[in-house]
Amino acid sequence: MKSKVGVLVMSYGTPESLEGIEAYYTHIRRGKAPTQEQLQDLTDRYEAIVGGVFPLRENTNLQVTELQAALNRNQDQSGIEFVCYQGLKHASPFIEDGVEQMTKDGIKRAVGIVLAPHYSIMSVGGYIKRAQEKATELGLDMSFVESYHLHPKLIQALSERVSAKLDQFEEAGAIREDVRVLFSAHSLPKRIIEMGDPYPEQLLETSRAIAEATGVTSWQFSWQSAGRTAEPWLGPDILDTLQELSVEQIENVLVAPVGFVSDHLEVLYDLDIEAQAISKELDMRLMRIDSLNSDPLYMETLRAEVLAALEKGN
Ligand code: FEC
């Protein structure tokens, strides 16, 4: 009989229904309920996005299924069967539920990986801390993938997407070299800089690697989707960058949200609706690269990272 290795695939999570938005938002705000106005604003954003109200759930489900298939491919000789479990940060099944389910299923050894390539103490670090605490409590042996922002297959998948969109700009009459590529990721509170957090540098490393692979020289990095809180967040925000590019008379902009791996609210609303509306006002042509979702190269990236973490942990 094969020995089972659990893989906790962690992702942000999304509500299950419109009625579930309040509980979800309260969880994100660490137990503090949103005001009626904040709740209405978030509900309106979900209702506005194309591709279903909560596309992240379906996308995460598919990524987990595809990763399990990729992990078990060509494992006949290894004596290992990989079983993937979901652990969501802000929705059910929560990270702790995933760890608990593994132990209930008799799993003794597991690897955790987050569906976000870049490490920050405030993002991936938080996922890992919660999983490790539960694993320690239940006596499960777990190791973790912290980041995979320069994995060659991830860079290849993202570079192919950038090149494909640059082709579309050319087809629309633009000169390829004149298109400004804007790499982006979720902003975080500015205080991560004083904490020596690797998040900003890892994002720049991913951006540089893609620029090099695609021959893009006209690029810059911008932050997006900053939280609505009083403290300062990392900038410049992408909406301000678009205004600045308009002053520079840049007419064609390609956004590459390299910090995200799925179609979800932060891509489908913040970029496809909000940023798109501003670019229209500025008379600018704005396109976005397709999200990775369950791209085979992304699944291969995750597979390789899980296998390496398992090897290292043994
Ligand atoms: O489609 C969906 O239903 C979920 C989309 C979604 C993703 C996502 C990813 C990240 N977040 C990160 C950090 C923060 C911090 C705060 C924060 C707040 C929100 C809110 C919503 C939301 N986030 Fe998110 N995030 C997504 C959605 N996020 C909704 C609350 C309303 C709002 O501000 O729009 C601030 C929390 C606080 O108040 O303290 C910080 C980071 C990522 C990317 C890495 C990852 O996926 O974990 C970092 C997807």
pLDDT of residue 190: 97
Rounded Cα distance between 84 and 306, Å, is 11
What is the C-alpha to C-alpha distance for residues 204 and 155, in angstroms, rounded to an integer?
Answer: 13
Check the annotation: does 46 bind a ligand: yes
Residue 46 Cα to ligand 1 midpoint, Å, equals 13
Q: For residue 243, what are the CA distances in angstroms to 276, 281, 305?
A: 12, 10, 39
Task: Give the separation between CA 35 and CA 289, rounded to whole angstroms.
Answer: 34
Please tell me the predicted confidence (pLDDT) of residue 2: 79
Q: Which amino acid is at 305?
A: E
Please give the ipTM for the structure prediction: 0.94
Q: Is 45 annotated in some ligand binding site? A: yes
Q: If you measure from the C-alpha of residue 123 to the centroid of ligand 1, how many angstroms do you get, rounded to a whole number?
A: 9
pTM of the complete model beyond 0.90: yes
Fill in the amino acid letter for 126.
G
Residue 314: the pLDDT is 59
Which is nearest to 91 in space by CA: 6, 22, 43?
22
* Distance, CA of 55 to CA of 107 (rounded, Å): 30
* Chain length of the chain: 314
Q: Are 84 and 68 in contact (CB under 8 A)?
A: yes
Q: What is the DSSP string of 192-242?
A: GTTTT-SHHHHHHHHHHHHHHHHT--SEEEEEE---SSSS-B-S-BHHHHH
Find out whether 26 and 20 touch, Cβ atoms under 8 Å: no
Q: Where are the beta strands (DSSP E) in 39-179?
A: 80-88, 109-114, 141-144
118 is in an annotated binding site: no
H or E stretch including 48?
A: helix 36-48
Ligand 1 mean position, distance from CA 10 (Å): 14
Token pair recorded at residue 225: 């989707």
pLDDT in tens, the chain (314 residues): 779 999 999 999 999 999 999 999 999 999 999 999 999 999 999 999 977 789 999 999 999 999 999 999 987 778 899 999 999 999 999 999 999 999 999 999 999 999 999 999 999 999 999 999 999 999 999 999 999 999 999 999 999 999 999 999 999 999 999 999 999 999 999 999 999 999 999 999 999 999 999 999 999 999 999 998 889 999 999 999 999 999 999 999 999 999 999 999 999 999 999 999 999 999 999 999 999 999 999 999 999 999 999 998 75
Q: Are 88 and 12 in contact (CB under 8 A)?
A: yes
pLDDT at position 265: 97
Residue to mutate (ligand 1; options 10, 11, 12; most atoms within 8 A of CB): 12
**Known binder of ligand: residue 269?**
no
